[in-house]
Amino acid sequence: MRGTSLFLLSVSATVLAGPMPAFAAWQPQKPIEFVATAGPGGGTDNLARAVQNIITKYKLTDQPIVVVNKGGGSGAEGYVYGKASAGDPYKVIFGTSNAWQQPLVSKVAFNYTDLTPIAAMAQDEFLLWVKQDAPYKTAGDYLKAAASGDFKMGGAQSKDTDEVLTRMIEKTGHVKLTYIPFKSGAEAAVQLAGGHLDSHVNNPSESLGQWRGGTQRPLCVFSPKHLPQGPKITATEGWGDVPTCVEQGLDIKQYEQPRTVWLPGKVTPEQAAYYVDLMKKVQATAEWKDYIEKTSQVDTFLTGAEFDKFIKEDLEHVKQVASEQGWLVK
Amino acid sequence: MDNLSELLHGFTIAVTVPHLALMVVGVLLGILVGVLPGLGAPNGVSLLLPLTFGMQPVSAIILLSSMYWGALFGGSVTSILFNIPGEPSSVATTFDGYPMARDGRPTTALATAFGSAAFGALVGVILITFLASWVAQVALAFGPAEYFAVYFLAFASFVGMGGAAPIKTVVALAIGFAIAAIGIDTVSGSVRLTMGIDELVKGVNFVVAVMGLFGIGELLVAVEEEFHARAVSSKIDWLEVFRAVGRLPRHSVALLRSAAIGCWMGITPGGPTAASFMSYGIGRRFSRRGRYFGTGEVEGIISPETADHAAGTSALLPMLSLGIPGSATAAVMMGGLMIWGLNPGPMLFVDQKDFVWGLIASMYVGNIVAVALVLLTVPVFAALMRIPFVVIAPLIVIICVVGAYSVSSSYLDVVMMLGFGVVGYLFKKLFYPLAPLVLAIVIGDKAEDAFRQSMLMSKGSLGIFFANKLVTCLVVAGIALLLLPLALQLFARIFRKPASIETTTQEKVII
């Protein structure tokens, strides 16, 4: 009842107020499904659940929200589901850049153009990690040692962000690395701790515990400037103390993975605008800041033309790497 | 003992009225999600997770882990009563649990399963308490080659000891590997075997496969055999619960062996599923009554259940100390840890002593609460067997359909589940063993990934499987287990008249 009366109220308000922006009119009328394109416990799942939690806490909508996990096929399951739900504004898909990267390199049955982009809400940084007792102190030393040609680089999935970055390191640093794909960055981190790998390029949150525990350490961050300082991770260092890779002679200025939010295709602009607005409200809360800090991500909000531009640029870049490696699917 | 005083401190945190109440609530919820197939522990825990955000981390993890224990126990209930395993790790429990329940001894089967599961869990917790730091080191020694060797060992322990004709076991394994290969391949990133069905990119979910193969398959066989004629008369017999638990010490060898296998597989991150299968396979070879396995043997229940819970419990250790989730449920809990502001990893033991030891102490108490509660429910569950077949059969179909759908809200899963039902029926009719098929579906893709990762590392040389003592021992043990039956048959042929072998293999029970 409350939902209906609120709806009527807002409709009448719109009518009374006369020429208001049209998108204020649409309100959800039934439960909303958050589709995480990752298994329970992964970074994308954590984001979906954090957003759900904030919306519920601040009653940003009257409708209940359920989170479902569709992480099969490296997330393809969730995107295919989004494509199949065209026109349904009650399915919100949470993913990463693999929404546009995956269709380039494997024959999945979706493309990012099948979905309606809402926003990129947070950026995960990448760092170059080595085992704690490794002899090299800087990325330069690492590259020198890697020139021997039998360095093993671990990462999550194949032909995905981690491998793309690995190939970029190869090209920029003039080395050859053996890339070993694992199911997740967490697995790669454990393999590095055990000495089965020489390095990996995990996000901060994937290796935070390992760094604190003294099994591995970051050499440099693939970012134009140092990360925000934040609390100390080890006795002496925090994220802000990690040098940038450019400073250390590995000339890759920036490499980031955005956390992205989508609606299925063929929804109305009003519906899309409603969710853009909802996510903006989420981002303004203290809980969101807390989530960003705990997962060591960078707060960002790209939507509309900015988001499109970001996708286009990233796509061009990945396409170049993929074609050099012969990954592109015909 | 440093650890001991830490543990006692942990008990002062765990044994408080609010925490005990949380354990009871958690265990009861866990039994509920465990009994309802398709829901399962990972989903149950993720549903509960948002409720814990406002709680103290210790209270939150106690609630969630109690739910996990409850679900592990609950998962065995449907395996035993209806031949529908709710979790991959309780598949092996169906092999003897279901025949025993069908024989009119559901109370005995359930009580035996719960009793031995509790024993396994207890051994697992003791191991965590005293060997935490050592265990963490062992897990680190495992690279892709070692992982593959462990999976190989699990396959070998099962194949080498299978009752069915070896060629049929191999066929079943091969079909299982093919099913496991469906979807995106981790190593190459390409899509395999989706046969033009877009949705298959997610792969075949274990629950879907198993509910069809076991639940529906068994139902089809039962309908054909006019199973309803043999109504099961099971009295609500409280004494039998205690008698069954009281008889457990007679099987102390099986209990200890299975607990050892379970702990070992839990630490070397082989996981509870591989542990229960391996324990069952080894139990069949070494038990005096091994030849009757598959017909409702007590040790056929003890072996997988003890190993499953020992592994499930000790698998929490790598999660805490290394940040590797040993199971899907552990992965959800790890997500929880992060949200509560804790970082799993080696420093957890240093920074968050109250949390870690409170949790470990709660494992002791939580398992005791769980086994007490679950034993109380045995007569109630056993009474389900008295419901006539004409009522229970449609119920099983409904459970399977709802269960398959609820995995990822997909109709395709329901269709596949029914398809697997037909496959299960055909396997039974043609005397093909289901166990290797399921084993290959569950750990086939992991074994494949590990093998190909090893090959990438060694640039294609098989030498990596003999590169150090650990991996060499594992591989040699696997090969030995694989060849053991052949060698024994050879000996039998040499030293005895070569007549009796053919007939005995035919008579063996196909599971």
User: How close is the nearest chain B Cα to the Cα of A40, in Å?
Assistant: 5
Contact of A262 with A86, CB cutoff 8 Å: no
CA-closest candidate to residue B237, choices B114, B113, B111: B111
Q: Within a domain: residue A39?
A: yes
Phi and psi at A62, nearest 5°, equal: -80, -15
Least confident among A152-161, B216-225, B252-261, B472-481: B216-225
On whether both A243 and A147 belong to a single domain, the answer is yes
B472 vs B467: CA distance, rounded Å: 7
Tell how strand A298-302 and strand A115-125 pair up: antiparallel
B130 vs B1: CA distance, rounded Å: 9
Start-end of H helices in B430-468: 434-457
A152: phi > 0 → left, psi -120 to 50 → alpha, else beta; which? beta
pLDDT of residue B3: 76
Q: Within a domain: residue A96?
A: yes
Task: Pick B322's closest partner by Cβ from A40, A190, A291.
Answer: A190
CA-closest candidate to residue B437, choices B450, B419, B417, B420: B420
Both tokens of B182, joined, read 């469906």
| Mutation target among B317, B343, B452 for the A interface, most CBs of A within 10 A | B343
Q: Is B487 helix (H, G, I), strand (E, B) or coil?
A: helix
- Whether A96 shows a pLDDT value over 90: the answer reads yes
On whether both A247 and A232 belong to a single domain, the answer is yes
Least confident among A142-151, A294-303, B155-164, B498-507: B498-507
CA-closest candidate to residue B360, choices B349, B371, B350: B349
pLDDT of residue A2: 43
Cβ contact A68–B409 (<8 Å):
yes
A294 vs A53: CA distance, rounded Å: 15
Residue found by looking up tokens 């269960």 in the block: B403
pTM comes to 0.83
Residue A256's H or E segment, with its range, is strand A256-264
Q: Pick from A210, A232, A254: which residue ends a domain?
A: A254
On whether both A133 and A250 belong to a single domain, the answer is yes
Task: Pick A80's closest partner by Cβ from B201, B325, B338.
Answer: B201
A126 vs A124: CA distance, rounded Å: 7
Q: CATH number of the domain that A166 lies in?
A: 3.40.190.10
Task: Pick B335's closest partner by Cβ from A46, A106, A180.
Answer: A46
Mean pLDDT of A20-35: 78
A183 vs B450: CA distance, rounded Å: 10
What per-residue string of b and e applies to B88-106 under the rule 16 or more CB within 10 Å gives b?
bbbbbbbbbbbbbbbebbb
Residues near B88 by beta carbon (within 8 Å), at least 6 away in sequence = B206, B210, B272, B273, B442
ipTM of the complex as predicted: 0.84
Mean pLDDT of B32-46: 74
Cβ contact B201–A186 (<8 Å):
no
Tell how strand B183-184 and strand B191-192 pair up: antiparallel
Number of helices and strands in chain B (H, E): 23, 2
The DSSP line for A270-313 is HHHHHHHHHHHHHHTSHHHHHHHHHTT-EEEEE-HHHHHHHHHH
Residues near A64 by beta carbon (within 8 Å), at least 6 away in sequence = A31, A32
Question: Which amino acid is residue A307, in one-letter code?
Answer: F
Q: What is the CA radius of gyration of chain A?
A: 21
Q: How far is CA B268 from CA A57, B141, B229, B254, B366, in A?
A: 41, 9, 47, 21, 24
Cβ contact B345–A42 (<8 Å):
no
Q: Within a domain: residue A18?
A: yes
- Dihedral angle computed from the Cα positions of residues B475, B480, B485 and B488, in that order, rounded to the nearest 10 degrees: 170
CA-closest candidate to residue B129, choices B219, B271, B11, B16: B11
On whether both A109 and A12 belong to a single domain, the answer is yes
Residue of higher predicted confidence among B355 and A186 = B355
Count interface pairs A-B at CB distance under 8 A: 158
B324: phi > 0 → left, psi -120 to 50 → alpha, else beta; which? beta
CA-closest candidate to residue A72, choices A44, A105, A39: A39
On whether both A104 and A33 belong to a single domain, the answer is yes
Q: Within a domain: residue A330?
A: no
Q: Rounded to the nearest 10 degrees, what angle do helices B217-224 and B411-429 cross at?
A: 50
Residue found by looking up tokens 């179909």 in the block: B397
Contact of B361 with B125, CB cutoff 8 Å: no
B49 neighbourhood in chain A, CB within 8 Å: 49
Bridge-partner residues for A221, per DSSP? Answer: A127, A244
Domain holding A33, by residue range, is 2-124+257-325
User: How close is the nearest chain A Cα to the Cα of B458, in Å?
Assistant: 10
- Give the pLDDT band of residue B163 (cuts 50, 70, 90): low
Mean pLDDT of A36-49: 82
The DSSP line for B76-102 is HHHHHHHS--SSGGGHHHHHHHHHHHH
- Whether B498 shows a pLDDT value over 50: the answer reads no
Residue found by looking up tokens 């329940």 in the block: B101
Mean pLDDT of A284-307: 90
Mean pLDDT of B351-363: 86
Q: Which residue of B has its CA nearest to A180?
A: B453
A72 neighbourhood in chain B, CB within 8 Å: 183-184, 201-203, 205, 408
User: How close is the nearest chain A Cα to the Cα of B217, in Å?
Assistant: 26
pLDDT of residue A171: 94
Cβ contact B201–A73 (<8 Å):
yes
Residue found by looking up tokens 């799993």 in the block: B344
Phi and psi at A313, nearest 5°, equal: -65, -45
On whether both A116 and A208 belong to a single domain, the answer is no
The total number of structural domains that make up chain B: 1
Domain holding B232, by residue range, is 2-507
Tell how strand A199-200 and strand A32-36 pair up: unpaired
pLDDT of residue A278: 95
| Mutation target among A55, A158, A206 for the B interface, most CBs of B within 10 A | A158
CA-closest candidate to residue B385, choices B235, B221, B213, B223: B235
On whether both A276 and A227 belong to a single domain, the answer is no
On whether both A58 and A153 belong to a single domain, the answer is no
**Predicted confidence (pLDDT) per residue in A204-263, tens digit:** 888 887 888 788 999 999 999 998 888 888 889 999 999 999 999 999 999 999 999 999
Cβ contact A294–B140 (<8 Å):
no
User: How close is the nearest chain A Cα to the Cα of B331, in Å?
Assistant: 5
Cβ contact B338–A295 (<8 Å):
yes
Neighbours of B469 (CB within 10 A): 8
- Whether B66 shows a pLDDT value over 70: the answer reads yes
**Predicted confidence (pLDDT) per residue in B203-231, tens digit:** 998 878 888 998 898 888 888 876 554 55
Residue found by looking up tokens 């649990």 in the block: B97
User: How close is the nearest chain A Cα to the Cα of B190, in Å?
Assistant: 5
Contact of A133 with A141, CB cutoff 8 Å: no
pLDDT of residue B112: 94
Task: Pick B325's closest partner by Cβ from A41, A158, A291.
Answer: A41
Start-end of H helices in B268-344: 271-286, 298-314, 316-322, 328-339
On whether both A58 and A176 belong to a single domain, the answer is no
- Whether B504 shows a pLDDT value over 50: the answer reads no
Both tokens of A264, joined, read 């299925």
Q: Is A134 helix (H, G, I), strand (E, B) or coil?
A: coil
B11 vs B29: CA distance, rounded Å: 23
Q: Which residue of B has its CA nearest to A52?
A: B50
pLDDT of residue B36: 72
Residues near B193 by beta carbon (within 8 Å), at least 6 away in sequence = B178, B181, B182, B183, B200
Q: Within a domain: residue A118?
A: yes
Cβ contact A209–B140 (<8 Å):
no
Burial class (CB in 10 A: 0-12, 13-18, 19+), B440: buried
User: How close is the nearest chain B Cα to the Cα of A249, in Å?
Assistant: 27
Residue of higher predicted confidence among B37 and A50 = A50
Q: Is A263 helix (H, G, I), strand (E, B) or coil?
A: strand
Contact of B139 with B322, CB cutoff 8 Å: yes
On whether both A134 and A220 belong to a single domain, the answer is yes
Q: Is A226 helix (H, G, I), strand (E, B) or coil?
A: coil
A314 vs A305: CA distance, rounded Å: 14
A68 neighbourhood in chain B, CB within 8 Å: 408-409
Q: Rounded to the nearest 10 degrees, what angle do helices A304-325 and A161-173 cross at?
A: 60
Q: CATH number of the domain that A117 lies in?
A: 3.40.190.150
Mean pLDDT of B180-186: 90
Phi and psi at A260, nearest 5°, equal: -115, 150
What's the sign of the alpha-carbon dihedral A268, A271, A274, A276?
A: negative
- Whether B511 shows a pLDDT value over 60: the answer reads no
Residues near A128 by beta carbon (within 8 Å), at least 6 away in sequence = A139, A142, A169, A199, A201, A218, A219, A220, A221, A222, A245, A250
- Whether B161 shows a pLDDT value over 70: the answer reads no
- Whether A3 shows a pLDDT value over 50: the answer reads no
Q: How far is CA B309 from CA B76, B93, B243, B491, in A?
A: 11, 12, 22, 37
The total number of structural domains that make up chain A: 2
Q: Within a domain: residue A303?
A: yes
Residue A177's H or E segment, with its range, is strand A177-182
Cβ contact B323–A186 (<8 Å):
yes
Cβ contact A80–B198 (<8 Å):
yes
Q: Pick from A239, A254, A269: which residue ends a domain?
A: A254
Output the CA angle B474-A178-A74, nearest 5 degrees. 80
Neighbours of B429 (CB within 10 A): 12
B42 neighbourhood in chain A, CB within 8 Å: 40
Question: Which amino acid is residue B398, in one-letter code?
Answer: I
On whether both A151 and A97 belong to a single domain, the answer is no
Q: What is the DSSP letter of A41?
A: T
Both tokens of B132, joined, read 């935490």
Contact of B82 with B215, CB cutoff 8 Å: yes
Q: Is A123 helix (H, G, I), strand (E, B) or coil?
A: strand
User: How close is the nearest chain B Cα to the Cα of A70, in Å?
Assistant: 7
Cβ contact B339–A196 (<8 Å):
no
Least confident among A141-155, A163-177, B323-337: B323-337
User: How close is the nearest chain B Cα to the Cα of A209, in Å?
Assistant: 5
A100 vs A147: CA distance, rounded Å: 33
On whether both A115 and A189 belong to a single domain, the answer is no
Cβ contact A181–B453 (<8 Å):
yes
B87 vs B39: CA distance, rounded Å: 10
Cβ contact B183–A73 (<8 Å):
yes
